[in-house]
């Protein structure tokens, strides 16, 4: 699916590089990564722990913890400005007001000694200059929007009086408060039970449609984003190794890592297999990455060239499908053969 | 497996926790964590125990080991009642029942090498007294779980999450148990590693004739590994049957909702999929609703559901559900 003309790019990350200095050496947590989000679009950044997906989001928001961690290169264009060049003062206006944030564990990002109402109205008064009365009315409206009933009373309560699902709804209300054009959601449902996960994801999708807010969803779970993302970026060892529309990526993965992830999980919609098909080996040690493709030691498709030369992210099909694999053509033929066989 | 005594039998297990009413005078209450749970596990089989957080599934596991003393009910292991035994009498039984935890990092001593971690239970239980032979047994255990002899000299923090879980499994195997309680053993691991650990657990079960109680919230993983499955909601089993019946013809509305909430990694299928998104949240076990505890969230509840507690009744042979409409 091509992007229709007239839709413009909201966020564009170009050649982003974020390094951490550790005792074991320099970790290239984000290693020359480029991707974008169109207005109103939902984009996913998928990968396992340590792949650089969360650090990417923190880098964009300029929240990487120094001095060990530092954005060492790249540009982050957002509404015509490079966020990496803004003053700290200007950046504070972007955070919370133009870009909302939702994190995995709402309890650690909410202030335990401030009432729910105060946490909502504070941003409205500071960012939008609302009067306390107007902010209060907006807060009641926001809680209603995210499905928290009895909102007048709820505003006087504290985070510990909310359940996990309710706290996450509250985080979403806070992220939406100043009508941002983009919401960054880092593992927004990972800490929640399955039935609550479904509620929260449906809510986020609904709100993003209603208000035309773009979303960046960061997750390790390919299942979660299948239903909600328009486009998916898969990361491994600090790089994007594949990107496509969600439909294309799940139907025709063109990187061995993406294929491995999809094959390794048991699925309820398929007959039960006698044995699972794991990706062998261990996740990479980021301080000692191989010279070529970082996935080579675990890859079933690797050839001599893979360990010598890192493959570039190159087009493999229409609709912006790109893959960083020397053998991506072979992968497509293998998939076609197994589809014909079944 | 006809006619023999089940390896484990749980009868009417109840566990209440008393809370509050302490120094700061909070209102006293009773958390009804487990409210009359019964099941059995046959030798060599895997029973999956699923449910959301707070449903009591972990407490059931702890009550089996007598790490929590049940409020009432019986736990029979190899025909022997455990709830009346003292700590000393339980010691040989704890060797026969082992646990694998969700987070191997917090259950492995960070100051001990992997070799020391695996040798400890061999010493404590007096299984291998000779030092040389103990080292040989440690190497053997490492190879059973797919680790190398040199891993014996590493510390837990020098291992990846998947390797640490392998050490947790090797430690459980060290004492040659009959039953292993696997409490969310893969949910903290990366997706690419989960399948490795599940395959390993299945290989070990086949190799050593192990029996598993597999406690988890991920219904796809539970379907893969279990022979039979029990679904818990607010301290009670609401449905229990063999794997195929549970996933092909679920009878309880809660089971149906849980299955429908599991995301499928295929956007084309997801787009056509009808989803039952449950409203509300799991009520507090301090104050469970009257009648069927699921009725406030149930899409098909009728008046009668608010009044009487539905019994776990047999719907078809071997398939039991606690719903008057099932």
Q: B105: pLDDT confidence band, cut at 50, 70 and 90? A: confident
Per-residue pLDDT, A6: 57
Q: B258 phi and psi, to 5 degrees? A: -60, -45
| Mean pLDDT computed over B56-75 | 94
Q: A287: pLDDT confidence band, cut at 50, 70 and 90? A: confident
For residues A24 and B146, the model is more confident at B146
Per-residue pLDDT, A62: 95
B193–A278 CB contact, under 8 Å: yes
Please report residues of B whose CB lies closer than 8 A to that of A282: 160, 162-163, 193
Chain B residues 154-213 with a CB less than 8 Å from chain A = 160-163, 190-196, 198-199, 202
B94 touches A: beta carbon within 8 Å: no
How far is the alpha carbon of A91 from chain B, nearest alpha carbon, in Å?
Answer: 34
A220–B271 CB contact, under 8 Å: no
Which value, to the nearest 10 degrees, does the dihedral of the CA atoms of residues B225, B227, B232, B237 take?
Answer: -170
Per-residue pLDDT for B15 more than 80? yes
B255 touches A: beta carbon within 8 Å: no
| Mean pLDDT computed over A122-145 | 91
Per-residue pLDDT, A27: 93
Chain B's closest residue to A285, CA to CA, is B160
- What integer best gives the mean pLDDT of chain A? 90
Model pLDDT for residues A233-280, shown as the tens digit of each residue: 999 999 999 999 999 999 999 999 999 999 999 999 999 998 999 999
Please report residues of A whose CB lies closer than 8 A to that of B192: 48, 260-261, 264, 278-279, 283, 298
Q: A2: pLDDT confidence band, cut at 50, 70 and 90? A: very low
Provide the angle, in degrees to the nearest 10, between the axes of the packed helices B161-174 and B114-124. 20
**CA B188, CA A317: separation in Å to the nearest integer?**
35
How far is the alpha carbon of A222 from chain B, nearest alpha carbon, in Å?
Answer: 6
Asked if residue A168 lies in contact with residue A102, where contact means CB atoms within 8 angstroms, the answer is yes
ipTM over 0.90: no
Q: What is the pTM of this model?
A: 0.90
How far is the alpha carbon of B207 from chain A, nearest alpha carbon, in Å?
Answer: 15
Per-residue pLDDT for B218 more than 50? yes
Q: A148: pLDDT confidence band, cut at 50, 70 and 90? A: confident
User: Both tokens of residue B160?
Assistant: 């990846």
**CA A249, CA A255: separation in Å to the nearest integer?**
10
- What integer best gives the mean pLDDT of chain B? 92
B271 touches A: beta carbon within 8 Å: yes
Model pLDDT for residues B33-54, shown as the tens digit of each residue: 999 999 999 999 999 999 988 8
Chain B residues 223-242 with a CB less than 8 Å from chain A = 223-224
Per-residue pLDDT for B85 more than 80? yes
């Amino acid at each position: 699916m091509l992007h229709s003309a007239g839709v413009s790019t909201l966020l564009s990350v170009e050649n982003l590089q974020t390094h951490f200095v550790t005792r074991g050496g320099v970790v290239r947590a984000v290693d020359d990564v480029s991707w974008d989000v169109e207005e109103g679009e939902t984009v996913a950044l998928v990968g396992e722990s340590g792949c650089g997906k969360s650090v990417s989001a923190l880098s964009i928001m300029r929240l990487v913890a120094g001095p060990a961690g530092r954005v060492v290169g790249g540009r982050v264009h957002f509404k015509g400005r490079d966020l990496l060049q803004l003053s700290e003062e200007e950046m504070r206006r972007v955070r919370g007001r133009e870009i909302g944030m939702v994190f995995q564990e709402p309890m650690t990002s909410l202030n335990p000694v401030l009432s729910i109402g105060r946490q909502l109205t504070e941003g409205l008064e500071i960012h939008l200059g609302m009067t306390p009365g107007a902010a209060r009315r907006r807060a009641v409206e926001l809680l209603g929007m995210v499905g928290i009933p009895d909102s007048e009373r709820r505003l006087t309560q504290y985070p510990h009086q909310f359940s996990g699902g309710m706290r996450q709804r509250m985080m979403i209300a806070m992220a939406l408060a100043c009508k941002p054009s983009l919401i960054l959601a880092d593992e927004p449902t990972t800490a929640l039970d399955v039935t609550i996960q479904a509620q929260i994801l449906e809510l986020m999708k609904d709100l993003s449609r209603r208000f035309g807010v773009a979303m960046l969803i960061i997750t390790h779970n390919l299942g979660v984003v299948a239903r909600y993302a328009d486009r998916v970026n898969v990361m491994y060892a600090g790089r994007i190794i594949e990107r496509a529309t969600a439909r294309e990526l799940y139907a025709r993965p063109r990187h061995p890592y993406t294929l491995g992830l999809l094959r390794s999980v048991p699925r309820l919609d398929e007959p039960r297999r006698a044995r699972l098909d794991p990706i062998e080996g261990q996740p990479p040690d980021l301080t000692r990455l191989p010279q070529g493709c970082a996935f080579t030691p675990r890859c079933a498709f690797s050839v001599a060239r893979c360990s010598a030369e890192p493959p570039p992210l190159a087009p493999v099909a229409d609709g912006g499908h790109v893959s960083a694999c020397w053998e991506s053509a072979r992968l497509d033929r293998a998939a076609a053969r197994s589809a014909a066989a079944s | 497996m006809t006619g023999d005594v089940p390896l484990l039998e749980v009868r009417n297990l109840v566990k209440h926790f008393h809370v509050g009413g302490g120094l700061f005078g909070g209102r006293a209450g009773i958390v009804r964590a487990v409210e009359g749970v019964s099941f059995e596990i046959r030798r060599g089989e895997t029973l999956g125990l699923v449910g959301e957080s707070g449903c009591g599934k972990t407490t059931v596991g702890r009550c089996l080991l007598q790490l929590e003393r049940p409020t009432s009910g019986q736990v029979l292991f190899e025909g022997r009642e455990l709830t009346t035994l003292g700590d000393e009498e339980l010691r040989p039984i704890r060797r026969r029942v082992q646990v694998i935890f969700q987070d191997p990092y917090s259950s492995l001593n960070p100051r001990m090498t992997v070799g020391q971690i695996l040798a400890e239970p061999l010493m404590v239980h007096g299984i291998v007294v000779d030092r040389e032979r103990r080292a040989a047994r440690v190497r053997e255990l490492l190879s059973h779980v797919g680790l190398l002899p040199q891993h014996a000299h590493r510390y837990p923090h020098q291992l990846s999450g998947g390797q640490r879980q392998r050490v947790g499994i090797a430690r459980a195997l060290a004492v040659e148990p009959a039953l292993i309680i696997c409490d969310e053993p893969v949910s903290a691991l990366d997706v690419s590693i989960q399948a490795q650990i599940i395959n390993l657990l299945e290989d070990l079960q086949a190799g050593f004739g192990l029996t598993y109680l597999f406690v988890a919230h991920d219904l796809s993983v539970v379907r893969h590994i279990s022979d039979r499955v029990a679904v818990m909601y607010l301290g009670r089993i609401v449905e229990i049957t063999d794997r195929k019946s549970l996933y092909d013809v679920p009878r309880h509305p809660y089971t149906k909702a849980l299955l429908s909430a599991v995301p499928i990694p295929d956007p084309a299928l997801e787009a056509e999929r009808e989803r039952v998104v449950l409203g509300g949240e799991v009520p507090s076990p301090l104050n469970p609703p009257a009648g069927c505890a699921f009725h406030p969230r149930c899409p098909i509840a009728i008046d009668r559901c608010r009044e009487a507690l539905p019994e776990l009744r047999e719907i078809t042979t071997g398939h039991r559900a606690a719903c008057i409409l099932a």
